[in-house]
Amino acid sequence: MARDPAVILFGLDVDDPKAIQGTTRGLVEKFGPQRVFGTPLSEDAMTGAAIGMALAGLRPIHVHIRMDFLMLAMNQLINVAAKSRYMYGGKVALPLVVRSMIGKSWGQGAQHSQALHSFFMHVPGLKVVAPATPYDAKGCLIAAVRDPNPVLYVEHRLLHFQKGPVPEASYQVAPGKARVTAVGRDVTLVGISYMQVECLRAQRYLEEAGIQAEVIDPIWLSPLDIDTITASVRKTGRLLVVDNGWPCCGAGAEIITQVIERLQGKREVRVQRLGFAPVTCPTTPALEDLFYPNGRTIAGAAHDLVAGVATGWMPTERPALASIEFKGPF
């Protein structure tokens, strides 16, 4: 924002003292209420305003604190934002970033826990990114802001508590490039958003069973770096995609399909996808724990994939690999 006065930030509770889990803290004081401001609870209208700002030459960052209610702005995003550049023959740019939060814990329940990124992967004209590390969070956000097309920036609440090295200097994590986060030879684990954290936990559990898992963070879901994933599966012969959403018609299904299309007739592979249980998300902690994949269940599924049969193996939980928890509503 200091570099480009056209960048503005707005959305529900952007100027709240909790500052969207600290991500907007101090920005009103630094850049003023004309560039950083809260909005009414009207997703459709505010998204339409953001699109108008982008068409007029600004670079808006619109914060939706819960992806569940991004559904109220689907017409604006799908029929206007995603299509304007094409409909005007490439003569207009629409540099809009939509920050949208997803996540588990704290009893989020049926209407505050959904991860619907796969809906937006389906639509040409939209980019979708789901960073899982502090380094990628900064680099992807800068890349999204500088992109001339609309970008859905997916943030998992638990990842706001992650710590890691982040350079002070400006840098971009370019669209369409995945990252191998652990090298292995026996099975490929692809973890989307927060499930990247759980896949890395699973990788360490699998080491105890003598299985070397290669872990990949796709980072950008659209455009998707299928080449990096395919190269890994060509080596391991096994692919387990762990999505932070329901498996049916999800990102995991798309990744598996594209890998099989590239390797069929060239390499025999075993594939599986994991995600939310095929029910509405429960609120009680005991049931919520069964709803989401975790490091242990991922490791168990990967173990069976390597064995080729259901073994029933499940690692013993270690405190060092226990999950972190979301501590507040915003």
Assess whether 122 carries a catalytic annotation: no
Neighbours of 168 (CB within 10 A): 6
Residues 6+ apart with CB under 8 A from 107: 283, 284, 285, 288
Helix ranges restricted to H, 167-326:
195-208, 226-236, 251-263, 285-291, 295-307
Q: Is 279 exposed, middle or buried (0-12, 13-18, 19+ CB in 10 A)?
A: exposed
Question: Which residue of the set 112, 117, 156, 303 is catalytic?
Answer: 112
Determine contact, residues 220/167, Cβ cutoff 8 Å: no
Report the alpha-carbon distance of residue 218 to residue 130 in Å, rounded.
8
Assess whether 112 carries a catalytic annotation: yes
Going by C-alpha positions, the residue among 165, 69, 86 that lies closest to residue 123 is: 86
Q: Is 118 exposed, middle or buried (0-12, 13-18, 19+ CB in 10 A)?
A: buried
Q: Is the dihedral of CA 69, 75, 78, 82 positive or negative?
A: negative
Going by C-alpha positions, the residue among 311, 302, 226 that lies closest to residue 271 is: 302
What would you measure as the largest C-alpha separation in the chain, in angstroms?
60
| CB-side neighbour CA atoms (13 Å) of 170 | 10
Which amino acid is residue 160, in one-letter code?
H
Q: List % helix, strand, coil for the chain (3-state, nearest 5).
A: 40, 15, 45
Classify 170 in phi/psi space as left (phi over 0), alpha (psi -120 to 50) or beta: beta
Question: Which residue of the set 43, 155, 198, 214 is catalytic?
Answer: 43
Q: Which residues are catalytic?
A: 43, 112
